[in-house]
Amino acid sequence: MSKNKQWASKLGFIMATAGAAIGLGNLWKFPYLMGKNGGFPFLVAYLFFIVVLGLPVMITEMSLGRKTRHDPVQAYADIHPHARIVGIFGVLAAFIILSYYSVIGGWILKYIASYVTTAAAPDFNAFIGSSEPVIWHIVFMAATIAVCYFGINGIEKASKLMMPMLLVLLFVIIFRSVTLPGASKGLLFIFQPDFSAFTLSSVSAALGQVFYSLSLCMGITITYGSYLSGKENIPKSCMIVGGLDTVIAVLAGIAIFPAVFAFGLEPGQGPGLIFGTLPMVFANIAGGTFFAILFFALVFFAAVTSAIALLEVCASFAIDSLGWERKHAALVIGTAITLLRWSGR
């Protein structure tokens, strides 16, 4: 069953594609990698790989999607029957990644609910050691399924709402973070050039971050490209998406790390930075509960727009290659992903 739906507007397409690329990794991994690998030199290397490799791959995948109007499996099969396996790996990657990604999405919802109801963060170790994460995982997946259930229209509307709100929240948090005493240490951690820390492994990290950050080679860009009209300028759109992704990653570092350093906390904790360290910051600043709610709302928008894209890759495969109806594909595959993680708990 070939899909004939298209994005209603260029803005909706760009917001959806940017939302797919901008995820949890942008909020902690990219800024931390900058600080760990020499600051500004790492950013230059990252931008170099974006231009010479990331954007060409994104343009190629998006063009393949628009040309074939198919899901990743069928799109690669249109090139050559033996290339179908590449698309299959992409769909499987999206399926498996979402089964874990949605668990973290559930944690985010729990933190929002906890701050709203108790004005404090939950005990993280007690929370993840209980059965409660299963409930929040289901809630997060239900929200993701609901958007994909309504197809391109649902994805576009959700992205056009969430992405501007993400930017607004990010700037509010940046303002609070950089006005803390000692915040300049966090900015130096991210941006100060340190060529002694910039090594061959830094170059490798910058290259890997390009593929991770732009969500390349997992079917998302092909799938979203298959909904693109023939009149859109793909290279220009890809440059806008790549630029937004990089800008938000840098802004996230400006929002998070000045606050972390202002309180003398450890910056290199990965996800623990969000769920363990930052609540300590919020507990010790004026209006901490308010800013905690804003921050976790921001993280939720970043997480759910990426989760929607991952589910859409799988749903697109079921619609195109298996002949399923849209609503059936979203419900069945979304439920399967939910149960996969639940059973693996």
* Torsion angles phi and psi, residue 287, rounded to 5: 70, 25
Cα separation, 129 vs 122, whole angstroms: 12
Cα separation, 229 vs 246, whole angstroms: 26
Angle, alpha carbons 284-287-288 (nearest 5°): 45
If phi > 0 it is left, if psi is from -120 to 50 it is alpha, else beta; for residue 109 that is: alpha
N-terminal to C-terminal alpha carbon distance within the chain: 35
Please check the confidence at residue 317 and state whether its pLDDT lies above 90: yes
Please check the confidence at residue 1 and state whether its pLDDT lies above 60: no
Question: How distant is the alpha carbon of residue 23 from its chain centre?
Answer: 2
pLDDT at res. 153: 87
Which token pair is 28?
């902690």
Q: List, for residues 28-81, the tens digit of each pLDDT value.
A: 778 888 888 888 899 999 999 999 999 999 999 999 999 999 999 999 999 999
Q: List, for residues 228-240, the tens digit of each pLDDT value.
A: 988 889 999 999 9
Cα separation, 30 vs 37, whole angstroms: 10
Q: For residue 274, what is the DSSP state?
A: I
Interval 21-33 mean pLDDT: 81
pLDDT at res. 140: 96
Position 2 confidence tier, pLDDT thresholds 50, 70, 90: very low
- Model pTM score: 0.90
Please check the confidence at residue 275 and state whether its pLDDT lies above 60: yes
Please check the confidence at residue 4 and state whether its pLDDT lies above 70: no
- Spatial neighbors of 331 by CB under 8 A, at least 6 apart, are 145, 149
Question: Residues 155, 148: contact at Cβ < 8 Å?
Answer: yes
Position 281 confidence tier, pLDDT thresholds 50, 70, 90: confident
Please check the confidence at residue 322 and state whether its pLDDT lies above 70: yes
Q: List, for residues 70-115, the tens digit of each pLDDT value.
A: 999 999 999 999 999 999 999 999 999 999 899 999 999 999 999 9
pLDDT at res. 283: 87
Largest CA distance in the chain: 61
User: CA torsion sign, 184 to 189 to 190 to 191?
Assistant: positive
Average pLDDT, the chain: 89
Residue with tokens 């806008």: 240
Q: List, for residues 149-201, the tens digit of each pLDDT value.
A: 988 888 998 999 988 988 898 899 899 889 888 889 888 888 888 888 899 99
